[in-house]
Structure 1
């Protein structure tokens, strides 16, 4: 076969002309196969489309028998066409009938043809069809002919996916939905069920202009964009402290790929086939994805993500499209999908439309997971590969209770989950009925239940949940959402609004806990190898006293004439607390001196989250009014286990004897010194963990608002004295976890763990 002198560029333009004609979808396809056959000097051209059940159906042909259209079908993996679809790779055969995968379909009349060239029709690396040309003469097609057919297939995929073939587009959309139906399992980060449509946190770049008008100009555009990409990556590396560590390796990987000659040469060759620079990038990356998605090697699959990132950066340069979605303009019932994100990024989204969050990498203890639970947004993490199988607008169901996602669910699954969502709504109604019921155990012990919050809009949860106060108010969220450090009057208004909305219920303000993964865009910070144990929270505040003094002054002014509770995070030694407490006294004197009213009552406390502080309680507790156990950091520091590391997410259990004995020691120290002890970590929000905490002697815990109902239900069915009698000997065990033992006890004792 010899390609036409007109070449693929003319074919691409003719395809566009055909699509603009007022014809039925079938007639358009019939014209397309004629055009391709003529341009490629082929005696046969056929288009197969993926149908439900992973069946490839002959949709149009030039050269085979017309009566075979819509009759001839092959399963994926069956015959030559099925082999191409299954492997997402082309087949170039001089004698097709001699190939072991060849399957004779008598209705087609293809026995007269020997030469065979077939390529997959790919959309984002997913096979949606197969394009084939055939000739009678036995010969291998040239590299140029392979390239021409692949380019044509890429444009055909874009035409179908964009709706250019209206009737077929509906069928193919349904087919892709079936082919790409997926059930993805991960970690349940925040309870709840969400039915909606995907919004990609980092959406794929939309390529609208596919066909080049001026190939030399497109090559110059591509070369310029590649140079710009390389400069961006060089600037990123050169402007960052990258001495060792994974971060450095990631950046160097980007640099390596950006300078890879094979990749760049492939892009330039693809432009020469008649595509624009951006279409060439998309086609090369789609080919790479199709290949790498089918490899079992996790290292190669991870490189696919690297190449995706690199290609998207290059596409954004070429198209001028922004990197992130407009988060304030969400569609209804949006479910955001991302590799990972910070807590402030989640807060950017319109919560009236946001129904759920799915993350590839985040673990249960990550701050974005904590924020999702605080907001009552169903969330799932460790969702490996989810980004590979969705696009913006993809129908999706998220079960944040068990950690499962259904991509393009069947009607049966959708109905089942709609019923489940209604059941959950009824269960929430039952919890709501307990709103005004005190949380008192069966043996008469009152348990104070508070919520964790971080923004003024969280305050309705205080009323709706029936909580008795805010056990932890994260003041840093206001700072993370701001474009610059909030001024004194701005902070005062914010804190006054919180106290007013709490309506005399107690609010415990935690001073700024920034650093680690909670960064302020306007505050320069040096990269640290271990940020969770680095310059953060009270350490930063004491080194930058002006920031802490400004916040303390704002809190004191906001609490004028009222009860104000302030606690300092990340205290590691008594001296740090004493120093911070002295700043409060200085600010009180300053305000009095200048005629300002101060709080009628001031209570100052500390968070116990650094294990070293457990051995200083006899010195610390006489200095303060209350303590709050931050179980998230306390557990990770006890085990030297990064709570955000997916490999360690399930390695250590907070219901281990070591953790429970530590919490028991803090409770006993509080009783000894007459100091109130609260726990505000994630342990408090899960009924079985909350049960253990109450057994240990805690009478005050705070949690995400959505957890109040299940935890209160547990408390009302528990007997604390009997619970402790059961638990006390368990603490001496060398067990990895007491979870199953406690769960069995709850069942036998009639304690409701919902």
Structure 2
């Protein structure tokens, strides 16, 4: 049976009639299972509903023992039914008893049934149950049968949600009548502090029309809604012309998703199969969310947020329902509560009213967070169950300096927060006064303090912070913000613009550093057990030299008549550096043959982030190497074999430990002896105490996040190296896990300026 068969569409219509008809909700669900079993030619049809506590309860069945209804329960992940719910994907088995996940429940009488096919019941991207069919004989269920059951399940999920069979708090967000103060902890996505009133960003779009009587008419409605949505996005693009440039670029990328042929085609197929336009959009959205939510690649997961944004917009155009909260009357100060958020949705709001954003999901790489950084809006993410804990109009404090959310805070908390905001503003004023002063120690040692950048908006921080240049420009970020590989022309334009904004200050361009947790959607990559140690960074571009040659060609053209500083990431051996340098030489020769003006000065360096390169450093500095930049984030996680993205192990080591300090001191000595300039970029340099210790070890160039420039400069200007240096060197041979406490105490004794 396929959904294009008249019988299948008739089944959907009968399901709708039964659920909307008379009798108790339980009677209607019982009749539904009978209808499905008859229509699909199966001996059993059962409906399991997920209850509170991650438990799946048998709610109705045709074919199993009736006394098992409301008595048989399986945990999510237990048995075949539990596995379907846990993985949120269909399962077809010709011999269920032979499957390793099979769990027998004798009260159901299912011992006479051999084969099983089940699909998740999904609503709003959340599994609310499982719909399963079974047969006595061994049966290889076909794709078209699975497709039919999935569509029936989609319709059944919507009908179940409105039937009253499941308590409302078990099928969607619900907030109790809590009035007591509450403190929650999440992940800092953009630092800052905000106080305001909770506003739910996304009112649910109710899909009441599930089936289409005339597919051609439904397709016409779909096309009209698509046109309206595109026009709305085009208007938003025009209005963003005066906003932050990077926000506009991200919005342009987002607009391109609206023309994605695959997305539109899948929706259209479901309409032709008998669903209404609204139900087809909802079904494709649920399918995509379930499939991609299983993917570990953060880039793909964050692009999912953009597609969800589009689906919600399209549904609002189809249903005529009011848009997001951005279109309603907002409080003066808004704390936006979202499950997730697209960049266009964030730009819908008046930034003057937004005091903070709380995301149930989210990551630093998502487009909405990048836009929030440009608008200086605090963001906290990865806060599950936020809709169960925060009610609309609750007073809320977002403390994205410490990763905390205070709901219904008392006066003491409010006063402390307001004091914190005042203190933060005062620190900003202090740092602003330091902007034009050099990063120079008390005993006259001048330090070059630079910023890390990767977006055009970051270049504005050069003047704002008074930094000496860009010590790390991450060229991969523009690659990640585009749906296809950028051309040589577009890269050349970007790099030239970066150099223009930098003026006479140096910029160090790091070549493409992708792979690991930074995958590009237009590059096919095989899953790896340990991607951080796998095919990534320079390993990719050296294996695919055409990509590296195009990027180097763009950099050479952009810097014609200027200075060009370029470095290669993830270099593990001297041989890899030689190969990368050879590819650069090929491009230099190519451009010269074409008469392209060369850079006025060319400096070539490498990132030092693989421990193997530390032991080859004496040989490396004898190569044509102009500088070395330590990437402390990767170097430390590889040194300690501890994934810095895994909270269970990330805290097991401390950069301020004797082995790290000894290793860094050795690198300084080798580079100094060879007169090769050395710098360090990464989180270690952005912390005032760590930065002071690095200077004591001999570093004279640090590259930090732009918000850290002021506090690091303040600390460095308070350092007397003649006092700090001997103390730091005295700690290198200690057998301690960390010497941070000792350094903190010593810093207080010598009046080191630490926040």
Does TM-score exceed 0.5, indicating one fold? yes
Any idea what SS the aligned residue of 2:599 has?
A: coil
Deviations 1:562-600 (A, max 9, x none): 110000000000111111111111111111111111101
For 2:672, the equivalent position in structure 1 comes to 671
Aligned to 1:738: 739
CA deviations over 1:325-365 (Å, ceiling 9, x no partner): 99999999776777899xxx889965994765656788999
CA distance in 2: counterparts of 1:634 and 1:593, whole angstroms: 39
Rounded Cα–Cα distance in structure 1 between residues aligned with 2:325 and 2:664: 41
* Distance change >3 Å, CA 621–CA 412, structure 1 → 2: same
| 1:461 corresponding residue in structure 2 | 461
Q: Is the 8 A contact 2:346 2:368 kept in 1?
A: no
What's the CA shift for 1:383? 4.8
Give the superposition deviation at 1:453.
Answer: 0.4
- The answer to whether the aligner puts 1:528 opposite 2:541 as a matched pair is no
Any conservation in 2 of the 1:365–1:643 contact (CA below 8 Å)?
Answer: no
| Structure 2 match to 1:252 | none
Structure 1 CA distance, aligned partners of 2:379 and 2:182?
18
* 2-structure distance, mates of 1:234, 1:712: 45
Superposed, which structure 2 residues align to 1:600-611 within 5 Å?
600-611=600-611
Q: CA deviation at 1:185?
A: 2.9
Q: Contact (CA 8 Å) 1:374, 1:453: kept in 2 or not?
A: no
Give the SS at the match of 2:441: coil
Mapping of residues 483-498 of structure 1, within 5 Å: 483-498=483-498
Give the drift of 1:321: 10
Matched with 1:553 is 553
Native 8 Å contact 2:173 2:387 kept in 1: no
Q: What residue is the counterpart of 2:689 in the other structure?
A: 688
Q: Which residue in 2 is equivalent to 1:701?
A: 702
* Cα 1:652–1:540 shift into 2, 3 Å: same
What is the CA distance between 1:178 and its match in structure 2? Answer: 2.4
> How many angstroms apart in 1 are the aligned matches of 2:366 and 2:285?
32
Any residues of structure 2 matched to 1:567-646 within 5 Å, and which? 567-623=567-623, 624-646=625-647
Q: Which stretch shifts more, 413-422 or 606-615?
A: 413-422
**How has the CA–CA distance of structure 1 residues 437 and 211 changed in structure 2, closer, same or farther, with 3 Å as cutoff?**
same
* Alignment pair present for 1:446 and 2:446: yes
Asked if structure 2 preserves the Cα contact closer than 8 Å seen for 1:225 and 1:317, the reply is no
Distance in 2, Cα, partners of 1:537 & 1:177: 49
C-alpha spacing 1:338/1:718, structure 2 compared with 1 (3 Å):
farther
CA distance in 1, matches of 2:172, 2:369: 39
Q: Kindly tell me: are residues 572 and 718 of structure 1, through their superposed partners in 2, closer, same or farther at Cα, counting changes over 3 Å?
A: same
Given that 1:363 and 1:643 are in contact with CA atoms closer than 8 Å, whether structure 2 keeps it comes out as: no
Q: CA deviation at 1:655?
A: 1.2
In the TM superposition, what are the counterparts of 1:357-506 in structure 2 within 5 Å?
Answer: 378=378, 380=380, 383=383, 385-386=385-386, 388-390=388-390, 396-410=396-410, 413-506=413-506
Measure the CA separation in 1 of the matches of 2:325 and 2:634.
30
Q: State how far apart, in whole Å, the 2-side matches of 1:648 and 1:372 are.
A: 29
Change (3 A) 1:393 1:651: farther
- Equivalent-residue separation in structure 2 for 1:730 and 1:368 (angstroms): 44
TM-aligned CA distance change 1:158 to 1:543, over 3 Å: closer
- Tell me the SS of whatever aligns to 2:732: helix
Equivalent residue for 1:31?
Answer: none
Structure 1 gaps of 5+ residues are: 10-123, 126-146, 162-172, 215-219, 249-308
1:553/1:6 Cα in 2 relative to 1: closer, same or farther (>3 Å)?
closer
SS of match in other structure, 1:619: helix
CA distance in 1, matches of 2:642, 2:550: 34
What is the distance in 2 between the residues matched to 1:625 and 1:348? 45
- Matched residue of 1:557: which SS? helix
Question: d(CA) in 2 for partners of 1:725 and 1:199?
Answer: 55
Count of residue correspondences: 520
User: Rg bigger for which structure?
Assistant: 1
TM-score, normalised via structure 2 length: 0.59
* Aligned CA distance change for structure 1 residues 567 and 413 (closer, same or farther; 3 Å): same
CA distance in 2, matches of 1:348, 1:319: 14
Aligned to 2:182: 182
SS in 1 for 2:648: helix
- Give the TM-score taking structure 1 as reference length: 0.59
How far apart are residue 396 of structure 1 and its match?
3.2
Q: Aligned residue for 2:164?
A: 151
Compared CA separation, residues 436 and 527, structure 1 to 2 (3 A): same
- 8 Å Cα contact 1:366-1:644 kept in structure 2: no
Instruction: Give secondary structure in 1 for the equivalent of 2:452.
Output: strand
Considering only aligned residues, what root-mean-square deviation do their CA atoms show, in Å?
4.9
Unaligned runs of at least 5 residues, structure 2? 1-20, 26-124, 127-159, 214-273, 298-304
Is the CA contact (8 Å cut-off) linking 2:199 and 2:325 kept in structure 1? no
Partner of 1:566: 566
- Paired with 2:388 and 2:398, the residues of 1 have a C-alpha distance of 16
Report whether the alignment pairs 1:652 with 2:676.
Answer: no
SS in 2 for 1:151: coil
CA–CA separation in structure 1 for the residues paired with 2:170 and 2:382: 31
In the alignment, the residues of structure 2 paired with residue 360 and residue 695 of structure 1 have an alpha-carbon distance, to the nearest angstrom, of 42
TM superposition shift of 1:736: 1.3
User: Equivalent residue for 2:102?
Assistant: none
What is the CA-CA distance between 1:615 and the residue it aligns to?
0.2
Residue 265 (structure 2) aligns with: none
Q: How does 1:134-145 map to 2 (within 5 A)?
A: none
**Native 8 Å contact 2:343 2:367 kept in 1:** no
Q: Which moved more, 1:725-734 or 1:469-478?
A: 725-734
